[in-house]
Chain A
């Protein structure tokens, strides 16, 4: 019934102005585009809510100052126009005392004090101590505060409070980059002995580059062998690559724990072979060495698989042609074969690099203290120190780095080229 009606419509329109036909075609294409998008929509919404929104909230959390501004709301308003170069006005002091009285009644003063303490160590006790007496303080408040605790005569604590109750703060990012603001408000590096994160970022970078290079070094020959063997042997050997790929990360990490420890299998073999004495067993675990060995093993299949899928498409006739034209085998390899594997090398290396700069489990278990990566400190701040702002800032920096690499990967390799298994 409907098809007949449609046919009738179509013939009618054909007789009409050709422009209406164009419009109708455009409409039909639009309908198809919308139809295609409707298929994707449920998953799009799911990933958006379950994944993208949390990422956005995290980015917000990394610049958000927490509840300080709500608790000391009068001070927040009063301090808006204060320059911060000298002691604040009496008006600001009055607002702060009123806020302190209220915050003490609501038992929220501790939160603010802790937050101020991040930027000015030692100020926590000043604030909680003064808040205890806040109710009895009389105008003029600026002097009353100074009598309560001489620390209030120093503009620094006022500056720190203002920073702590501002709605948006760069403090977490500064802390994540080992920076702080000195008394005059300039951004400077913290003392060398307190610097953690720059070292950590650099170490994460160095170890990731090292692991990526090792994976390429070990993965290239294997992929080459697999691509050059006849299918029936290649498929068999492929199992040796795929099995680690399918085995749980924790299982592989546990295996390395058993292998690498000082009483473990590898040291036993070295002692047995007489390479080292029983007393000089190597410390292969709970340091950067352990992290590098275990992570190279875990990520190796991610280099081999993309390399293999590229190498399989390279026709052996090119190398044969080069050799028959007089090229030495090494020349034929480096000048003819190697350039053709570039897409595979790019895909494998970028993938391993992206995965390794965010690795958490393996460094946490076999890394000791000098094999820890940036992700281990993110976990530390989420679970132990509860400095969520700093965790969010570190995560956001890592996320930004990954997204740039991902964009690069997409540009160079194309995400649709990614194959599994």
Chain B
């Protein structure tokens, strides 16, 4: 963007220094995420750059920490692939088990949150909905209450009803944390929704389910998916609830990282972090595509 010619020299100087300041803030935002990648290839077990790495010596770099992600916990990591290496990895490697747990818990809690949240958002967007503000406030409160308070309360309560330290307990807890995101995104999508479309479908003889399935859902699907994605990420990120409600059996990736950071700190953590950064880039891309699609669909529906 060229500056208009009537600007004074001082204004020009300010314009460029403002850009410079913003650039520095962007560096502050993004640099920590980028720095973990080169550090994770360190051959030494440190969290810092060695002189060899700075001189770009190939022997200063290695992929040993990535191998460690797979090997840790395996019975016989040196076995050949034909001798059951894959089976051993799939069943025994600690990080692999954590990844499986993360996906299992994340997907189920996101599904519960999305199903219940979408239904509730449909109700909340009806003009006849009584006590809308109060109920919305209540449904969103799990997002606002500090996670440590939520986890403490759940720890006491779930222990009394016997679902602490079980998959059920963890999934229910994570679904609760994911609900606000689904309610917010789907309600936002529905705010641009033309309710005449539903009325038209119903007046043409569609059952409420058909009307939802064939008319409403295709239009709010981007909102549902991005809400579900948020719910999944909430579950995928969570450490605190896992610390309180999870057992060794339910250990997820962040929970495993937490132990790694607290107990034997090694660049394996950085290798996992690098993979997670790549994973979040993928998630961000999906979310962004969905947002654009949703904007387009809303444009049509209006």
| Contact status B119-A375, CB under 8 Å | no
CA A204 – CA B156 in complex, angstroms? 25
Contact partner of A361 (CB less than 8 A), chosen from B135, B183, B239, is B239
Contacts of A416 in B (CB 8 A): 133, 136, 187
* A347 contacts chain B at the CB level, 8 A cutoff: no
CB contacts between A and B, total, < 8 Å: 272
Q: For the complex, what is the distance from the CA of A398 to the CA of B148, rounded to whole Å?
A: 10
B120 touches A39 (CB 8 A): yes
Residue of A nearest to B11 (CB): A329
Asked whether A418 is an interface residue with its Cβ less than 8 Å from the other chain, the reply is: yes
Q: Assuming the A-B contacts A53-B157, A406-B141, are A44 and B240 also in contact, with contact meaning beta carbons closer than 8 angstroms in the complex?
A: no
**Any B CB within 8 A of the CB of A240:** yes
Is B59 an interface residue, CB under 8 A from the partner?
no
- Interface size range of chain A in the complex: 35 or more
Q: How far is the CA of A359 from the CA of B147 in the complex (A)?
A: 8
Chain B residue at minimal CB-CB distance from A388: B156
Q: How far is the CB of B240 from chain A (nearest CB, A)?
A: 6
Contacts A237-B26, A254-B269, A395-B148 given; indicate if A259 touches B176 (C-beta within 8 A). Answer: no
Distance, CA A311 to CA B25, complexed state (A)? 18
Q: Which stretch in A78-86, A102-110, A162-170, A263-271 binds the other chain?
A: A263-271
Segment with Cβ contacts to A, from B66-74, B76-84, B229-237: B229-237
Interface centre among A250, A354, A398 (most CB of B within 10 A): A250
Query: Residues of A contacting B11 with CB < 8 Å?
Result: 329
Please, which residue of chain B has its CB at the minimum distance from the CB of A219?
A: B25
A395 vs B48: C-alpha distance when bound (angstroms): 38
Q: Tell whether, in the assembled complex, residue B1 and residue A230 are in contact, meaning their CB atoms are under 8 Å apart.
A: yes
Q: Does A419 contact B (CB under 8 A)?
A: yes
CB pair A251–B276 under 8 Å, yes or no, is yes
From A246, A259, A329, A358, contact of B233 by CB (8 A): A246
Asked whether A43 is an interface residue with its Cβ less than 8 Å from the other chain, the reply is yes
**What is the CA–CA distance of A29 and B176 in the complex, to the nearest angstrom?**
31
Partner of B129 from A33, A50, A382 at Cβ < 8 Å: A33
Residues in A whose Cβ lies below 8 Å from that of B236: 248
Contact A243/B281 with A43-B120, A230-B1 known, Cβ cut-off 8 Å = yes
Within 47-63 of A, Cβ neighbours of B (below 8 Å) are at 47, 50-55, 57-58, 61
Q: Contact string, A329-373, partner B, CB cutoff 8 A, digits 1/0? A: 100000000000000000000000010011111000100000000
Q: CA separation between A297 and B25, bound complex, in Å?
A: 10
**In the complex, per-residue mask of B182-195: 1 if CB is within 8 Å of any chain A CB, else 0:** 01110110000000
B130 and A42 form a contact (CB under 8 A): no
Contact of A50 among B128, B172, B230 (CB under 8 A): B172
Let me know if A32 and B126 touch, CB within 8 A. yes
Q: Is A300 part of the contact surface with B, judged by Cβ < 8 Å?
A: yes
CB-contacts of B99-128 with A (<8 A): 112, 116-117, 119-120, 122-124, 126, 128
> Contact partner of A258 among B18, B47, B124, B150, CB < 8 A?
B47
Whether A42 contacts B119 by the Cβ 8 Å rule is: yes
Give the docked Cα–Cα distance between A69 and B210 (Å).
59
- Chain A contacts of B188 at CB under 8 A? 419
The residue from A43, A57, A268 contacting B49, defined by CB atoms under 8 A apart? A268
CB-CB contacts below 8 Å: A386-416 with B? 388, 391-392, 395, 398-399, 402-403, 406, 409-410, 415-416
Complex Cα gap A298–B169 (Å): 28
Instruction: State how many angstroms separate the Cβ of A400 from the closest Cβ of chain B.
Output: 10
Count of B residues near A, CB < 8 Å? 93
Instruction: Convert B259-285 into 0s and 1s, putting 1 for each residue whose CB lies closer than 8 angstroms to a CB of A.
Output: 001100000011001001100110110
Partner of A395, one of B32, B124, B149, B262: B149
**Is B26 a contact of A395 with CB atoms below 8 Å?**
no
- Chain B, 76-99, contact with A by CB distance < 8 Å: what is the 0/1 string? 000000000000000000000000
A344 CA to B46 CA, complexed, in Å: 42
Q: Please determine whether A258 and B39 come into contact, CB atoms closer than 8 angstroms.
A: yes
Given contacts A221-B22, A263-B48, A398-B146, is CB(A241)–CB(B29) below 8 Å?
Answer: yes
> Chain B 151-180, CB within 8 Å of chain A: the 1/0 string?
011111110100000000000110110010
Do B148 and A360 touch across chains, with their CB atoms under 8 A apart? Answer: yes
- Chain A residues with Cβ below 8 Å from B239 are 249-250, 361
Query: Residue of B at shortest CB range from A235?
Result: B288
> A244-B33, A252-B33 given as contacts; is B148 within 8 A of A358 (CB)?
yes
4 tightest A-B contacts by CB? A358-B146, A39-B123, A54-B157, A54-B153
Known interface pairs A51-B141, A268-B49; 12 further A-B residue pairs with C-beta atoms within 8 A, sorted by A's residue number: A32-B126, A32-B128, A33-B129, A46-B179, A54-B158, A55-B153, A239-B284, A248-B236, A254-B269, A297-B28, A365-B261, A402-B145
User: Can you list 6 A-B contacts with CB-CB less than 8 angstroms, sorted by A residue number?
Assistant: A46-B175, A57-B153, A251-B276, A358-B146, A361-B240, A398-B146
